[in-house]
Structure 1
Amino acid sequence: MSFRRKMLFAFLGFVLAPLAILGGLSYQISSTTLKNNISEQTVQTLKAVDRNLMKAVSEVNTFSDFVLSSGEIQSFLKTNDTDSVIEFYNNQQSIAGLMYGNAQVDDFMVYSKDGELLHLKNSTVPPFGEFVLSPFYLEMIEQKGRPVWLTPSSNQEWSSNEESLLTQGRVIKDIQTLEDIGYLVMNIKIRLFDELFSNIDMNPSEELIINRRGDILYSLNHEMIGEDLQMDELSSLKLGSTGYFLTNWEDKKSLVTYIPSQFSTMQNDELILVSIQPWDVLASEIIMIRNTTIILFIVAIVMALLFNMLYLRRVSQFIQESLASMKKVEEGALHVRMREFKLKELKNISSGFNNMLTRIRDLIQDVKLEQEYKREAQFQVLQEQINPHFLYNTLESINALAAMNGQKEISKMTINLGKLLRISINGDYEVMVKDEIRHVVSYLEIQKIRYDHAFHFLVEVDEALEKEYVLKLILQPLVENSIKHAFDSKEAGIISIQGYCEGSKGFIFVQDNGTGLPQEALESLNDDKNERHKNLGHGMINVHKRLRLYYGMAYGMIVCSDQKEGTKIKITFPIKGENNGI
């Protein structure tokens, strides 16, 4: 992918992605807030409707109380005197007012315990024998005079007309003995609730009364009464709870708010008040937020395209030309020059690039001259130095004379001294581990003769490690410190040198059985303090610092010492060319 496309996609990502996220979050937060606010308001409205509904039900209960306690009804049920009831119905204007005015009573029936029936209409109703076998009768007996309600979908036996009716049943008790003397069944017009629901100021909305199975028991649209409210979420509703949810109803996304109703029907079938409101009407304001975000998104894309045409293309051309010029410079063409660009910033960069090349070319010329001068100076110094080959030949001559005269110790020291000089004079920073081991062994051989074999040494190094490279002259100062400071003349000293490699690291251990280092000296060395302790030679500190400087802070030297068991030094260094040194 070209740089220009990368910049364009980066611009789109850094601008459009936050814009899309911000718009989405704003829409989501606004939607949630709107749902909460509308649902809380709807819940309060439904609670007011439920209170009015219970007030209307209470009026029906009051009417039925009046009927149950009237003397004519009591007399009829005790004496089966039908004429007294007809006279009661025709003369009691207060009952008629309640029936046809406030309570919306459509019809009522009175059964005596002997099976006599008083019915104000000529419609067909169940005979007493069927009535006492119905669940409605059993529920009335169980409630002991309290009202029992049937919904329009379950009272077909008591309602013969096409209008949806509620049915109330109650046991009639003797007001003197409280014994059951009859049964009252009343049909209530469903229009009882129409005025309550028509006054709800939440248009457009649909308010319903449903049972827990989802059957619609009441709707201002009477055609919906008896239908099933098709919503999957209803099955997860907890009875007695209040809440809301978004769902699809009649192919429209709608906000459904529900509360439990205080009104209950037969067998305490709990009812639910439901309000269904179309979401597109409620969310008109947040839809504007969504549309605004989409418009801003499109505007940002247009701006990105204009930015690409008017600015990014020039920057891309400048970068491509810069890369091409730098590649030529890498190949050694210092005569390259960039052209001038119209944009001020790009013009300054191209001019700076050209000036830098001119300066580099001048510096290279200066360095060449300086190197020529340095080479001449080094040659003059070498001319004045002692030829190392002459020094080695002289040592060989001393070795030959010592051997001829039987001085084996002198011969051995001369040979080892030659080995020491060879690695010391070598100008490289690193040597192979086996050469470093050979150097320290030569040093130990010389010191053994010097100290009259007062100590012994043991060398065990893996063959794999011997072929790796390590910083030279790091072991000799360590064994020198052991020889000078660690050994007690009363006991024979032992110096052990071990080495192995593990992964990308090499490890060399130098251990002696001497008197060990004091605690202060040990802490001074391991804590990298610059101060030199009196019990620490220059050599050990020098080795530690050289390892850190050459390989990095992850490598170096760790010293463990005990004044009874001696000192053990661990050297860690990288292998296989992974050093970070100079």
Structure 2
Amino acid sequence: MKNKSFLVNSVSVRKRIVVLFFIFIILPFIFLAYYSYNQSVKGISDANASFSLDFLIQSKKNFEDYLKDLNEQMNTLIGTKKLQDLVIAKPKGPAEEEAYAAELEDFIYEKKPIVDAYRIRVYPLLTVPYFAYIHHFYYGNDISNENWFTEVKKTGRPSWYLFMPADNADLYPFPIISYVKRFTGLYDNVPRGLIIADLSEDNIYRYMSTPQRLNGQETFLLDIHGVIISHPVKSKIGTILESPELISLIDLSGEGTEIIKLGKTKFLATFVKLEQQPWTMVSTIPLSEMTKSISKISNVTYYFILGYILSCIIMILYITNFFTNPIVHLVRSMRKMDSNNVAMPLQYLKRQDEIGLLYRGFDQMRSKNYDLIEEVHKSVKTKKELEFQVLSHQINPHFLYNTLESIRWKAEQSHMKEISEMVSALGNLLRLSLNQGQELTTVSRELEHLRAYIHIEKARLDKPFRIMIQVDEDTLKLPLLRLIFQPLIENAIHHGIRDNPETGKIILTGKLEGNNLYFELIDNGKGIPPHIIEGLNNPPMDGMQAKNTNGGVGLSNVNKRLKLYFGEAYGLQIICEEGKGTKIIIKHPVLPENYEG
């Protein structure tokens, strides 16, 4: 019933209307709005990316030209004879050191205008003879222990270094990018000193500032490790860019654009690598700033879609309440009528439209069929009871039992032991068959009845045959429909192994599986003819029961009684090949030990 309910609900008119509204009306509007918004954002992003990339390429060219000119300006300063003479002079005594420091400082101050930098510094490679000069110029620190000094002095390779106020607040009051270069003598190529050009933020940022800057737009300089070496926000200089994906993309490409996330904000990032220096120019623009121009259109579209969805929902509710709900109630009434619950009130009978017409027609049908259904139920119940009595009381010679007891007593008086045993077995057979008028017995009593029958058959046929019974002990006390085993054993003896009793064998096994009892009857006889199996599976339509050739209760009788008493799920299953024996499986439900149903 649950599966049936699911099937009805899954194809209900209500759900179909909701799905159709969603697929053909709501979904296209949502898709169109989403597609339009994305295309607008993409167009604006592409335009800004193109503009930013062109600007960075031009800024890169200008900045590299500036760095090239700065290098040439430093070379010009290095080539002056006076500087060469000063760095090789060795003052003697404090007085000469003071004079030397003043002369070198005056020279640097005089030549500073020819170098476009925040500051120019010159240090001799041998720092000991120039203690006063270096002490004055480096604010009391020993420059010979600085890593940048020893590295450039040793390798001679020009290098860039980022100095922060934490390194020396007096020398670096704000972040400084310094270009450190070793120079030699003009004629002997002997290393003489280091010349340093200190660039401030203003020296660099003038080449990266955009003429029209959006709110939140930032242009900055990165080194190869992702460290920010120039940024309009001073606190970010010296930190690592919080976007590993952009750093990875810069490693793979010389220039490009990428949507990145810094913190909780998305940015359009454009980058260009410098060719002569290990730096990358990066420009970031918040996506929210780029899409600000279409935000009003997006808001109008959003509210329009929201209103449209609400209107659709109201329409669906209206259709549901006035059209589909009555149909659902009618379907429920029909389902309850299927389960014999026809005495139920109906709504919507007074409606004058098609829904009311359907309800009135169904109510008339329900009223006419109510009495017929009750009558049919009573007729079926009476028919089953009568048919079961006919099937289960074919052998009901109660008076024979007392007569057989008298015969057995006379046989014992006449010392006829075999006759006495046969009569005693037959008496037990009849007694167990009667079962005190009850339709249910137990597995144990049914096996006792079967053994009495086997004893009689062995004596009557006067032929040896083997019958093995292997039934689990936990099944012996369970209720069982009577006269189940005897007809099947009788069929196996007379139609299976009777013609070949020496090699014939019958095995009866029984076990408990879940909520069912399973018994298997196996013989190695000649098998059951196909027409008998066909008659068992397709009984006659007139309800007449099938009988075996000896007039006893046959296979069809047992199968039909099991189905009548317990339902179509129970009965016999026959597996047989003619000439190779038969296997019969009996399926019987597990009933409580005191069951009397």
**CA–CA separation in structure 1 for the residues paired with 2:444 and 2:491:** 19
* Displacement of 1:334: 6.0
Which residue does the alignment assign to 2:512?
Answer: 501
In the superposition, the TM-score normalised over structure 1's length comes to 0.62
| Candidates 569, 573, 576, aligned match of 2:588 | 573
Name which of structure 1's ranges 424-433 and 186-195 shifts more when overlaid on structure 2: 424-433
Q: 1:351 to 1:127 in 2, by over 3 A?
A: closer
2:242 to 214, 234, 239: 234
Distance in 2 between the 1:51 and 1:554 partners? 93
State the one-letter code of the partner of 1:445: H
Residues 1:347 and 1:283: Cα distance change in structure 2 (over 3 Å): same
Q: Choose the corresponding residue for 2:288, options 255, 266, 280.
A: 280
Q: Does 1:349 align with 2:358?
A: yes
Determine the C-alpha separation between the residues in 1 that align with 2:106 and 2:178.
22
What amino acid sits opposite 2:455 in the alignment? E
Q: Is the contact made by 1:168 and 1:187 (CA closer than 8 Å) also made in structure 2? A: yes
Q: 1:393 aligns with which of 389, 399, 403?
A: 399
Offset, 1:353: 1.8
- Partner amino acid for 1:455? F
The residue correspondences of 1:246-261 to structure 2 (distance < 5 A) are 246-248=261-263, 253-255=265-267, 257=269
Give the SS at the match of 2:208. Answer: helix
Query: Separation in 1 of the partners of 2:467 and 2:338?
Result: 57
2: distance between equivalents of 1:114 and 1:356?
118
1:184 counterpart residue number = 195
Q: Tell me the residue number matched to 1:141.
A: 153
User: Given that residues 518 and 587 in structure 2 are in contact (C-alpha distance below 8 angstroms), is that contact kept between their aligned partners in structure 1?
Assistant: yes
For 1:482 and 1:126, the matched residues in 2 are separated by: 122
Which amino acid in structure 2 is aligned with residue 450 of structure 1? R
* Contact kept in structure 2, 1:402 and 1:408, CA below 8 Å: no
Alignment partners' CA distance in 1, 2:536 and 2:400: 43
> 2-side partners of 1:236 and 1:572: how far apart?
70
| 1:446 equivalent among 448, 452, 456 | 456
CA deviation digits over 1:229-277, x for unaligned, max 9?
Answer: 699973968966547642448xxx3527486965999xxxx86655443
Native 8 Å contact 1:107 1:186 kept in 2:
yes
What is the alpha-carbon distance in structure 2 between the residues aligned to residue 155 and residue 12 of structure 1? Answer: 76
Matches within 5 A, 1:92-103: 99=114
Pick one of 182, 206, 224 that aligns with 2:218: 206
2:447 to 397, 417, 437: 437
Is the Cα–Cα contact under 8 Å of residues 536 and 555 in structure 2 kept in the other structure?
Answer: no
**Would the aligned equivalents of 2:465 and 2:504 in 1 still touch at CA under 8 Å?**
yes
User: Could you say if the C-alpha distance between residues 430 and 111 of structure 1 is closer, same or farther in structure 2, counting changes exceeding 3 Å?
Assistant: same
Q: CA RMSD in A?
A: 6.6
Whole-angstrom CA distance in 1 between matches of 2:483 and 2:105 = 130
Q: What's the CA shift for 1:34?
A: 6.2
Whichever residue aligns with residue 195 of structure 2, its letter is L
Greater Cα offset, 274-283 or 239-248: 239-248
Supply the AA of the counterpart residue of 1:208: F
State the shift of 1:360 in Å: 0.6
Calculate the TM-score normalised by the size of structure 2.
0.61
Q: Does residue 125 in structure 1 map to residue 137 in structure 2?
A: yes
Whether the aligned pair in 2 keeps the contact of 1:169 and 1:184 (CA below 8 Å) is: yes
Give a deviation string over 1:200-233, Cα, whole Å, max 9, x none: 77734111236799986433x4xx3x42469997
Distance in 1 between residues matched to 2:239 and 2:204, nearest whole Å:
24
Instruction: Give the AA of the match of 1:146.
Output: P
Write out per-residue CA displacement over residues 522-577 of structure 1, whole angstroms, 9 at most, x where no aligned residue. 99999x9989xxxxx9999859976799766798558699x99x987654433138
Q: 1:180/1:233 Cα in 2 relative to 1: closer, same or farther (>3 Å)? A: closer
Preserved contact between residue 460 and residue 498 of structure 1 (Cα < 8 Å): yes
C-alpha displacement at 1:141, in angstroms?
Answer: 0.6
Q: Percent identity over the alignment?
A: 14
Instruction: Give the CA deviation at 1:443.
Output: 3.1
Give the drift of 1:347.
Answer: 1.4
Once the two structures are TM-superposed, the CA of residue 179 in structure 1 deviates from its matched residue by 1.2
In the alignment, the residues of structure 1 paired with residue 237 and residue 572 of structure 2 have an alpha-carbon distance, to the nearest angstrom, of 81
Q: Residue 12 of structure 1 contacts residue 301 of structure 1 at CA under 8 Å; is this kept in 2?
A: no
> 1:96-141, CA deviations, whole angstroms, 9 ceiling, x for partnerless residues?
7xx47xxx33453444557799xxxxxx733899544544422331
Q: What is the distance in 2 between the residues matched to 1:286 and 1:574?
A: 72
Report matched runs for 1:31-46 at 5 Å.
38=45, 41=49, 44=53
Which 5+ residue runs of structure 1 have no aligned equivalent? 1-6, 118-123, 532-536, 578-582
Distance 1:388 1:439, change over 3 A: closer
Distance 1:436 1:89 in 2: 126
1:120 paired residue number: none
Contact 1:456 1:495 in 2 (8 A): yes
> Which residue of the partner structure matches residue 108 of structure 1?
120
- Over 3 Å counting, the alpha-carbon distance change for 1:129 and 1:229 in structure 2 is closer
Alpha-carbon distance in structure 2 between the residues aligned to 1:523 and 1:68: 118
Structure 1 segment 229-378 matched on structure 2, within 5 A: 234=242, 242=250, 245-248=260-263, 253-255=265-267, 257=269, 273-284=281-292, 292=301, 296-297=305-306, 299-301=308-310, 303-305=312-314, 307-308=316-317, 311-312=320-321, 340-342=349-351, 344-361=353-370, 363=372
Conservation of the 8 A alpha-carbon contact between 2:509 and 2:519: yes
Q: 1: distance between equivalents of 2:88 and 2:148?
A: 23
Match of 2:410 in 1: 404
Distance 1:304 1:149, change over 3 A: closer
Contact 1:172/1:182 (<8 A) preserved: yes
User: Comparing 34-43 with 127-136, which one deviates more in the overlay?
Assistant: 34-43
SS at match of 2:195: strand
Structure 1 residue aligned with 2:5: none
SS in 2 for 1:280: helix
Counterpart-to-counterpart distance in 1, 2:395 and 2:572: 32
For the 8 Å contact 1:329–1:336, the answer to whether it is kept is: no
- 1: CA distance between counterparts of 2:218 and 2:187? 48
Secondary structure, counterpart of 1:576 in structure 2: coil
- Paired with 2:320 and 2:404, the residues of 1 have a C-alpha distance of 82
Measured in 1, the distance between the counterparts of 2:69 and 2:558 equals 102
Tell me if structure 1 keeps the 8 A contact 2:558–2:571: no
- Quick check: 2:442–2:479 contact (8 Å CA) kept in 1? yes
d(CA) in 2 for partners of 1:495, 1:290: 87
CA drift at 1:144: 0.4
Deviations 1:312-336 (A, max 9, x none): 1676578779979999999998697
Number of residues paired by the alignment? Answer: 522
Given that 1:498 and 1:510 are in contact with CA atoms closer than 8 Å, whether structure 2 keeps it comes out as yes
